[in-house]
Amino acid sequence: MRKIIIAIDGYSACGKSSTAKTVAKALNYTYIDTGAMYRAVTYYFMEVKFISLTNEKEIQRALGEIDLDFRYNAKTMMNEICLNGASIEHEIRKMSISEKVSEVSTLKQVRQFLVAQQQKMGKRKGIVMDGRDIGTVVFPQAELKIFMTADIMERAKRRQQELLAQGQLVPLEEVLDNLKKRDFIDSTRTESPLKQAVDAVVVDTTYVTLDEQVEYILQLFNATIARQIQGQS
Ligand code: DC
């Protein structure tokens, strides 16, 4: 079976991870949530080591102490991010991490550290990776690139529901504010800002169900494979 890389980039809370996860399952591909990796580093920096984000030496030292991997949890039936062997899936979704993650993601040392690991994970292809710079920086050669977007109010409502499902009741205004702040930092930072790759297909999820998004991406996947086969014959 031919294997490709599917890169899914886009704004926070527009359905990237649910879509990527379902597409990966349908294709029997590996799903990698790179946002979870930035969140895990943020958690270590801010809630374990309390380091200063302007001290490059401290940052480098802390990065050297971080070992990240994804492990399957049979109970939740989910791949969970582990930091030095322990799952921190729940901790990284807290608002305190969301408040800091965009700032940590602007750091060049952090990006180099994580991008190298992400590129290694995609070596054998057969991967669906979501994030902000996957189609532009991590895998500019990805065979299929998607850029997801949605109306900000819709995104805020969806994120609020996700938080509620995890037991966190956060006012809509606060969620909306956080998304706006993160959109701004993510798209204006110097190091690999969020932007649409020229060869990405835009998917606006405002009025589209998860099933429809997945169906559309699977159609694009089939078309990509068909093109590859044609190109070889
Ligand atoms: O996908 P998410 O909301 O969990 O991502 C959290 C933050 O991580 C997001 O605000 C920006 C950063 N991020 C990034 O800079 N590059 C990526 N490839 C993925 C996430």
Q: pLDDT for 193-228, tens place per residue?
A: 999 999 999 999 999 999 999 999 999 999 999 999
Flag whether 51 is in a domain.
no
pLDDT at residue 74 tops 80: yes
Return the ligand 1 atom nearest residue 114 CA.
18
| C-alpha to C-alpha distance for 31 and 126, rounded to whole angstroms | 9
Return the ligand 1 atom nearest residue 138 CA.
18
Flag whether 66 is in a domain.
no
pLDDT at residue 233 tops 80: no
- Residue with CA closest to ligand 1 atom 11: 102
Query: pLDDT value at position 78?
Result: 83
Flag whether 71 is in a domain.
no
Q: Is 98 in the pocket of ligand 1 (CB under 6 A)?
A: no
Q: Is 38 in the pocket of ligand 1 (CB under 6 A)?
A: yes
Flag whether 52 is in a domain.
no
pLDDT digits (tens, 9 = 90+) for 12-58: 999 999 999 999 999 999 999 999 999 999 999 999 999 999 999 99
* CATH number of the domain that residue 179 is part of: 3.40.50.300
pLDDT level of residue 1 (50, 70, 90 thresholds): confident
Q: Where are the alpha helices (DSSP H) in the chain?
A: 16-27, 34-43, 56-64, 95-105, 108-121, 152-165, 172-188, 210-232
**Mean pLDDT across the chain:** 95
Q: Is 10 in the pocket of ligand 1 (CB under 6 A)?
A: no
From the CA of 83, how far away is ligand 1's center (Å)?
17
- Residue with CA closest to ligand 1 atom 16: 132
| C-alpha to C-alpha distance for 44 and 64, rounded to whole angstroms | 11
How many structural domains comprise the chain? 1
Please give the torsion angle defined by the CA atoms of residues 100, 103, 106 and 111, in that order, rounded to the nearest 10 degrees.
Answer: -20
Query: pLDDT value at position 76?
Result: 81
Q: Is 102 in the pocket of ligand 1 (CB under 6 A)?
A: yes
pLDDT level of residue 106 (50, 70, 90 thresholds): very high
Domain range for 218 is 5-33+93-226
Flag whether 167 is in a domain.
yes
Flag whether 55 is in a domain.
no
Q: Is 105 in the pocket of ligand 1 (CB under 6 A)?
A: yes
Flag whether 9 is in a domain.
yes
Percent of the chain topping pLDDT 90: 91
Q: Quick count: other Cβ atoms within 10 Å of Cβ 128?
A: 30
Query: What does the pLDDT average to over 2-21?
Result: 94
Return the ligand 1 atom nearest residue 34 CA.
19
pLDDT digits (tens, 9 = 90+) for 161-202: 999 998 999 999 999 999 999 999 999 999 999 999 999 999
Any residues with CB less than 8 A from the CB of 45 and at least 6 apart, and which? 51, 53, 59, 62, 100, 104
Flag whether 219 is in a domain.
yes
